[in-house]
Every structure is written in structure tokens, then in C-alpha cells.
Amino acid sequence: MTTTTQAAATQAATTQAAQSERETVLTVTDLVVSYYTDAGRAKALDKVNLTLKAGEKIGLVGESGSGKSTMALAMMRMIKAPGRIEAGNVVVGDIDLMSLSDKDMLQARLSQIAYIPQGAMNSLNPVTRIGSQLVDAMKAHTKDVSKEEMKERAIAALESVELKPEVFKMYAHELSGGMKQRVCIAIGILLEPKVIIADEPTSALDVVTQRQVMETINRIQEQIGAAVILIGHDMGLMAQSMDKVAVMYAGRLVEVSTVREMFTDPKHPYSQALIRSLPKLEEKGVFEGIPGMAPSLLRLPNGCAFHPRCRDVMDHCKTTRPENQVLTGGRRVTCHLYAEENEKAVA
């Protein structure tokens, strides 16, 4: 093992030990979301479970349509018709967001849990100055605070994401894509929430700006000690920025593990296929895709949803739905291949 690898391993172990002592700030239990269409019921989330501690960063990955954005919107209680949150709990701190009234949920957004949208270009009001949008967000949550103090807080939030105070008086069309995304981050961290959900915050940005935006998110996250859920397709970005990776497929979390474990020893066949599909320097021009296509949520295969594309498929994978397995070290994998290891770990 090289000195660099040893240092990285030591740092990862130190980070993991520190996180184990932190309090749990997010607990998602058996979350179910369905969309009712003319073609039938599509179960977009199927009993999803997730736990995050303060300061922890997890990347949520998977093909388009796997349920990543639906999970984010469900946690924010922003699912619109024909979608419906049918079961489950989302607890932030000691508050169950699913049991709150609509009025109380409005207060919980930004103060307890914040959402940084995918399209910064479309999420900012084009006819309202940036400063007014930040102040309006504060007005909805704080009382007895003067306009001057709100302005100071808004400018401080802009400066914390490396934007100049002049941005306060500007309109969205006067900002670059990266600046707009940072404004969205500034709005998200205004009230120092416990959980920040970033839905593909670097999409449609150039590589340099992507790095700047991620550095901004990481720096802010460390300052306020929030847990971060990063939704995206870029596995390289996850490797550089996250502590853990959660892989989604057909509305289920099929594997949750540390970044190191995911990239060195992925367990679920779908996770393995995702890692194999990454380009490699030693194999220039050679790309390995995942055979087949993700299934329609209206017509999921019997048994394991991934079995038609899996190279390790067994007979009972085609008929029996796999349950979540707990492996040695606490990794979670939803696959029949690890039933024996799960029994040993539980025992």
C-alpha cells in the first residue's frame, strides 16, 4: 500500500470514527411513494430506509427513473398529484415531518431540512432581485427581525458561498450558471438546517464550476454541521466528495456502504455494474455498459427487479423478492447472494 493510500485510509477511518460519535439527525423508515396514472400504479419508492448522522455526507446514485429525486421530494413533502406518500416516516432530529400539519411543514423547510434544486436557472424568480428572494425566505420563518438585520443575514449568506454583496441587488439573468447555483445554496443554508438535500447541483455546469460548487457545499456543510444528501449520476464526484454511497434501483435502496467499500468491493450486482461502467485510464476507448434497460415501475419483474440484467442471477431471484441484508461491518445489501453472510452478521 502506498503512502498516499495509507494516509487516505487513515483519514477515512478517523472520519468514520468521529461520525460514529455524532447524533443521528435523519431517519427514514419504510418510505413508500406511488404515482397513480391511467396505466396503473407506479411504486416509485418501495419501503426505503436510511439513517444519517450530523456532518455525514451520502451520495444517492442510480439510473434515471430509479427514484432518487422522488425520495428527495418525499422527504420535503413536496410530492404532487398524481403522486402520493402512502407510508413511512421521515424524522429530522426529533421531529417526524410526516406527522406535521401543512403550516408546520412550511416552517420545517429551510429550518430543519433544505432542498437545493437541480435547475438553478428555473428555481429563482426572474423578476425579483436576489436579495428579496433571500429576505422572503427568512420572513416565512422568523419574526421580530428588522429589515436591516435580514439584509445583513442575506448578504452574509451570499458571502459564505463566495458571492459579492452586490449580488443582493441583482436579478437572476445577470448571474452565471455557477452563481445562480450558489444563490440556491445560500438560500438553503440561511437558517442552518440539520439536513441539506442537493439534487444534481452541478448538472449543466462546466467542470471547473462543478468543482467550485461542490467545494462550496462541502465548506458550508462543515461550518453548520449539517448532513448532506447529494443526488447525482457522477460516480467520480461521489468518490471525491461523499462519505457514503447509496445505490437505488427501481425504487429500492439496493446497497448502502462507505465510498471506499463501494469503489473497492461493491457487493450488489447492480453496484458492480455501475462501477464497471466507469471509464478506466488503462483501458482507453473501452466502455462497458449495463445490458438491458431499467424496468418500468408500472410493470416490475417478479422477484428481484434487477434479475433480467444480472450476470449472477439464480433461479429464486426470478420468483422471490430479496430483503435487505446486513453484512459484516454494517453494510446493507438487498440481494439473495448474501443471505448466509447476513445470518452470520445478525448472529
How many distinct structural domains can be found in the chain? 2
List the chain residues with pLDDT less than 50.
1-10, 19
Q: Are 243 and 269 within one domain?
A: no
Q: What is the pLDDT of residues 91-131, one digit of tens each?
A: 999 999 999 999 999 999 999 999 998 776 678 999 999 99
Quick one: cell of 215?
Answer: 467545494
Q: Are 188 and 306 within one domain?
A: no
Q: Are 302 and 240 within one domain?
A: no
Residue 280's pLDDT is 75
Q: What number of other Cβ atoms are within 10 A of residue 328's Cβ?
A: 10
CA atoms of 205 and 271, how far apart (whole Å): 26
Look up the pTM and report it.
0.87
Q: Report the relative pairing of strands 113-116 and 332-334 from DSSP bridges.
A: unpaired
Residue 276 CA: distances (Å) to CA of 212, 225, 279: 28, 34, 8
Residue 89's pLDDT is 96
Q: Are 214 and 330 within one domain?
A: no
Residue 133's pLDDT is 93
Residue 3's pLDDT is 45
Q: Are 239 and 315 within one domain?
A: no
Q: Are 235 and 268 within one domain?
A: no
Residue 269's pLDDT is 95
List the Cα angle 215/278/207 in 5-degree steps. Answer: 30
Q: Report the relative pairing of strands 57-61 and 244-249 from DSSP bridges.
A: parallel
Q: Are 310 and 212 within one domain?
A: no
Residue 5's pLDDT is 40
Query: Which domain range does residue 314 map to?
Result: 263-280+290-346
State the DSSP string of 59-109: EEE-STTSSHHHHHHHHTT---TTEEEEEEEEEETTEEGGGS-HHHHHHHH
Q: Are 233 and 315 within one domain?
A: no
Total count of residues recorded for the chain: 347
Question: Residue 229's closest CA among 211, 249, 210, 256?
Answer: 256
Residue 15's pLDDT is 52
Residue 285's pLDDT is 67
Q: Are 341 and 197 within one domain?
A: no
Residue 211's pLDDT is 85
Q: Are 301 and 245 within one domain?
A: no
Is 3 a member of any domain? no
Using the Cα atoms of residue 132, residue 138, residue 143 and residue 149 in order, give the sign of their dihedral: negative
Is 318 a member of any domain? yes
Q: Are 142 and 64 within one domain?
A: yes
Is 52 a member of any domain? yes
Q: What number of other Cβ atoms are within 10 A of residue 3's Cβ?
A: 7
Instruction: Name 52's bridge partners.
Output: 26
Is 305 a member of any domain? yes
Is 172 a member of any domain? yes
